[in-house]
Amino acid sequence: MGLWVSKGILATWVVWSSIVVGVNSGASSRASKNPPFALEAARELVAPKPTLREKAEFEGGGFWEEHDDLLTRAWQELGPRHGDLYKYGHTFEKRYLSKALRRAARDAREGGNETSARDLFKEVVPGVFASEELFTQEFLNDLLEELEHVQGSGIPMRRPNGMNRYGVILDHVGLESSIQGLVEASVRPLASMLFPELVGVEDADEHFAFTVQYDTAGDTELAKHGDASVVTLNLCLGRPGWTGGDLRFFESGGSGFHVGSSVFKALPRGNASAGSGDLSFRPGLAVLHRGQHKHQALPLVDGVRTNAIVWLMGKHGVVRVAPYAEHEQLSVYERWHRTSANALEL
Ligand SMILES: [Fe+2]
């Protein structure tokens, strides 16, 4: 029987931060009376600066809750630079998903064969799967330019999570539905394929998507931690030219599926292996790992590194940590035939 465990405050914040709270502050009241000027009103707000390096999920929470409605409307008024990023469908898939991923998804969905999908990945650290074949260069370019667009808009932005101070919560700037489409069509089936013991029918129904930015003037590193996710997708966007900033993984511990180091190396991939090792990012490299597989961002020495991160989780931010027995795990068919997004012809 499965065990569901809430990850407490992190998961709570994920859910809480995703809720649109219709509180009328002074500024938002003014904007309500003058709907076209939410952008202007938002630019006048003075947001609290992020300072804490950990356990900062609620830093400045009152401000962001108070102005949530105004900020949502300000992002709508601003509009996109790359409109294709905001709607999941044929155009999104053709422009942003690699041919290899589209072919692999078609093979799995129509032929029940995951060989192509598995071949997209290398297990670079036990329990950590990396691929440079998921997304197109246009996806990296458009997303980086979109980040410049929103970061240069003058609209205040909340810190992306309780540890990183700099980045953008993609779900808050209008990208939530297109990322959910991407999750349903590709990321969730891939996560279930790589981690069948953790991703069952409802374990990745929701997501939380954000970017993190490392540079010498801001965050240079991140302490050892686990994510508030069942599985995390971490995609390096670029831009090229930084040094340092590797990602370090630690042997499994305290995660609910701990396996002694003498044992887990003998386990098949995609099962309970969760080992130690470092990986170097490069633009386009995507990594999938269990959220509870502890990791750390090593110090960035020079330049700027920006990554897009998607946390997968169950409804209400619930994070599964207890493994399914083999007979409880999803079949290939079940993994790839769950949602309306899957009906798209890839
Ligand atoms: Fe993390």
pLDDT tens figures, 107-148: 999 999 999 999 999 999 989 999 999 999 999 999 999 999
Q: Report whether 201 contacts 330 (CB < 8 A).
A: yes
H helix runs in 19-168, sequence order: 26-33, 38-44, 61-66, 68-78, 90-96, 99-111, 115-119, 137-151
What single letter denotes the amino acid at residue 121?
F
Residue 217, phi then psi, degrees to nearest 5: -90, -5
Cα 225 to averaged position of ligand 1 atoms, centre (Å): 6
Cα 263 to averaged position of ligand 1 atoms, centre (Å): 25
- 244 belongs to a structural domain: yes
What single letter denotes the amino acid at residue 69?
D
DSSP state of 184: I
Cα 60 to Cα 38, 250, 260, distances in angstroms: 21, 31, 41
Q: Is the pLDDT of residue 53 over 80?
A: no
- 34 belongs to a structural domain: no
State the average pLDDT over residues 214-236.
Answer: 91
Cα 163 to averaged position of ligand 1 atoms, centre (Å): 9
- Give percent of the chain above pLDDT 70: 81
Cα 227 to averaged position of ligand 1 atoms, centre (Å): 5
Cα 320 to averaged position of ligand 1 atoms, centre (Å): 16
Cα 289 to averaged position of ligand 1 atoms, centre (Å): 10
The CATH number assigned to the domain holding 226 equals 2.60.120.620
Cα 297 to averaged position of ligand 1 atoms, centre (Å): 8
Q: Report the mean per-residue pLDDT for the chain.
A: 82
Cα 72 to Cα 30, 33, 64, 89, 316, distances in angstroms: 15, 16, 11, 23, 21
19 CB burial (10 A radius; 0-12, 13-18, 19+): exposed
Q: Is the pLDDT of residue 70 over 70?
A: yes
Cα 44 to averaged position of ligand 1 atoms, centre (Å): 32
- 52 belongs to a structural domain: no
Cα 197 to averaged position of ligand 1 atoms, centre (Å): 20
Among candidate residues 330, 55, 26, the one with its CA nearest the CA of residue 195: 330
**How many helices, marked H, and strands, marked E, lie in the chain?**
13, 14
Cα 233 to averaged position of ligand 1 atoms, centre (Å): 10
Q: Quote the tokens at residue 145.
A: 């330019």
Residue 36 is predicted with a pLDDT of 61
**Rounded distance, CA 244 to CA 284, Å?**
17
Q: pLDDT for 288-310, tens place per residue?
A: 999 989 999 999 999 999 999 99
Among candidate residues 163, 172, 209, the one with its CA nearest the CA of residue 53: 163
Cα 309 to averaged position of ligand 1 atoms, centre (Å): 8
Q: pLDDT for 326-336, tens place per residue?
A: 899 999 999 99
Cα 259 to averaged position of ligand 1 atoms, centre (Å): 21
Residue 179, phi then psi, degrees to nearest 5: -70, -35
Cα 8 to averaged position of ligand 1 atoms, centre (Å): 16
42 CB burial (10 A radius; 0-12, 13-18, 19+): buried
Confidence of residue 69 (pLDDT cuts 50, 70, 90): very high
Q: Quote the tokens at residue 78.
A: 């601003």
| Cα diameter, the chain | 66
Cα 333 to averaged position of ligand 1 atoms, centre (Å): 30
- 128 belongs to a structural domain: yes
Residue 59 is predicted with a pLDDT of 73
- 24 belongs to a structural domain: no
Cα 291 to averaged position of ligand 1 atoms, centre (Å): 7
- 44 belongs to a structural domain: no
Q: Report whether 82 contacts 146 (CB < 8 A).
A: yes
Cα 226 to averaged position of ligand 1 atoms, centre (Å): 6
Cα 69 to averaged position of ligand 1 atoms, centre (Å): 28
Cα 224 to averaged position of ligand 1 atoms, centre (Å): 8
**Rounded distance, CA 77 to CA 91, Å?**
23
- 57 belongs to a structural domain: no
- 199 belongs to a structural domain: yes
Q: Which domain holds residue 223?
A: 81-343
Residue 144, phi then psi, degrees to nearest 5: -65, -40
Q: Is the dihedral of CA 253, 276, 162, 210 positive or negative?
A: negative
Q: Is the pLDDT of residue 13 over 70?
A: no
Of 57-71, 202-216, 247-261, 307-321, the range with the lowest mean pLDDT is 247-261
| Structural domains in the chain (count) | 1
Residue 35 is predicted with a pLDDT of 53
